[in-house]
Amino acid sequence: MESKTFDVVVIGAGIAGSTAAAALAADCRVALIEAEDAVGYHTSGRSAATWILNYGPPDVQVLTGASRAFLESPPPGFTDHPVLNLRGVLYIADEEARPPLGELVSAGKGVRPVTVDEARAMVPAIRRDTIVAAALEEDAFDIDVAALHQGYLRMLRAGGGELALRNRAGRIERRGGAWEVETTAGAVLQAPVVVNAAGAWGDEVAAIAGVAKLGLTPCRRTAAIIDPTPHDVRDWPMLVDPGHRWYARTEARTRLMVSPADQTPDVPHDVQPEEIDIALGIDRMQQALDIPVKRVERSWAGLRSFTPDGSLAIGWDAKAEGFLWCIGQGGYGIQTSPAAGRLVADLVLGRDPGPATAILPIVDPARYA
């Protein structure tokens, strides 16, 4: 990519940036730049996502609900196979997790209590000696993250947008009513609007542009793949501890992905799993499930970034003209991506955000000004 002029430059080709760029491409000349050799390298590509309506703060739940129709029926040519696969979520609680389970049942949408015997009929590995209560959210789905991400990039290209890998933003300046973004590959891109969708690097991108940071906290999340033999986990629901101490999900039909649900503050970098976190996840899972673990087949870690109050940051900067934030997705970026990308496009184009209007004050980055 050489020196060019666009309507919008989106920085960061993870799920947030790719979705925003795809949503804008039908109406704008869009450049999507990415520092790494591949899209979604640090976070989106390391996510095993699930669409769960009751997951996250209120603003996230609104965008999750608004994203369902797109995920169920993407536009023609978006992907070659379905993005969603029905898989309910079974919340299983020991005595310590009984209170948050009760809160989830009373406040959640579509979450109903089930007996421990009913839970064991779905997941025979559940331990009777530790699990005392359970609830089921049947209306939830596995998300094919790779297919979804590539679908957004197809939309971007179909709209005439350009993707530039290995182009880290090195200089970002506002000149003559437009932003000038110079990348480490030598490209100089000009546009009246810059969208900061750089994930864990969001505050660093803001600093390069001379824009006040929001105070993002990147956090490490760990996962490991185990062999659950002798159990057939193909049709198991996702298993979640209501106390947010662990979760597990079927992977590749015959394996189980286990996570300690860790959220350890870290710095933006190519994060790797810690052995203690892998061990914690397996130990917590085994306290609830009777599954012997002989070895860990694979493990990894990714970064998820949070704003100071835990809600998303989608909107114009309070002071920097033409600088739009799409950041702080935490672990919710994939399930909210269609509606979040549409919201970015609505803000840039001055359109009515529809159902997302109700959450604009919650996600407005100006709340940190």
Asked if 165 and 13 count as a contact pair (C-beta separation under 8 A), the reply is yes
Angle at 84 between CA 80 and CA 86, to 5 degrees: 135
CA distances from 76 to 15, 21, 158 (A): 20, 18, 12
Cβ proximity of 55 and 249 under 8 Å: no
pLDDT score of 2: 73
Q: Which amino acid is at 366?
A: A
Question: pLDDT of 29-68, one tens digit each?
Answer: 999 999 999 898 877 767 878 999 999 999 999 999 999 9
- The kind and range of the H/E element at 153 are helix 145-158
Report how far apart, in Å, the C-alpha atoms of 216 and of each of 140, 162, 219, 250, 276 are: 29, 28, 10, 31, 25
DSSP code string of 231-244: ---TTPPEEE-TTS
Question: Which superfamily, per CATH, for 4-75+144-215+309-368?
Answer: FAD/NAD(P)-binding domain (3.50.50.60)
Mean pLDDT of the chain: 96
Q: Are 237 and 141 in contact (CB under 8 A)?
A: no
Model pLDDT, residue 169: 96
Q: What is the pLDDT of residue 1?
A: 61
pLDDT in tens, 189-224: 999 999 999 999 999 999 999 999 999 999 999 999
Structure tokens at 168: 């880290």
Of the candidates 224, 220, 219, 218, the one whose C-alpha atom is nearest the C-alpha of residue 284 is 224
Angle between helices 58-72 and 337-349 (to 10 degrees): 100
pLDDT digits (tens, 9 = 90+) for 168-193: 999 999 999 999 999 999 999 999 99
Specify the pLDDT at position 348: 98
Nearest to 217 by CA among 263, 153, 161: 263
Domain boundaries, the chain: 4-75+144-215+309-368, 89-138+217-306
The residue among 85, 88, 61 whose CA lies nearest residue 72 is 85
Query: Which among 42, 28, 311, 46 is positioned nearest to 195, based on CA atoms?
Result: 28
pLDDT tens for 335-353 read 999 999 999 999 999 999 9
Q: What pLDDT, in 10s, does the model give residues 97-142?
A: 999 999 999 999 999 999 999 999 999 999 999 999 999 999 999 9
pTM, entire model = 0.95
Predicted confidence at residue 3, as pLDDT, reads: 82
The SS3 call for residue 276 is: helix
Helix (H/G/I), strand (E/B), else coil: 168: coil
260 to each of 40, 245, 301, 350, how far by Cα in Å? 22, 6, 11, 42
**Segment 143-159, tens digit of pLDDT:** 999 999 999 999 999 99
The candidate with the shortest Cα–Cα distance to 38, out of 14, 8, 9, 11, is 14
Distance of alpha carbon 148 from the chain centroid: 12
Q: Which of 32, 312, 353, 365 is nearest to 169 (CA)?
A: 32
Mean pLDDT for the stretch of residues 76-86: 95
Domain 89-138+217-306 has CATH 3.30.9.10: yes
Integer CA distances (angstroms), 355 to 22, 61, 83, 90, in order: 20, 12, 23, 29
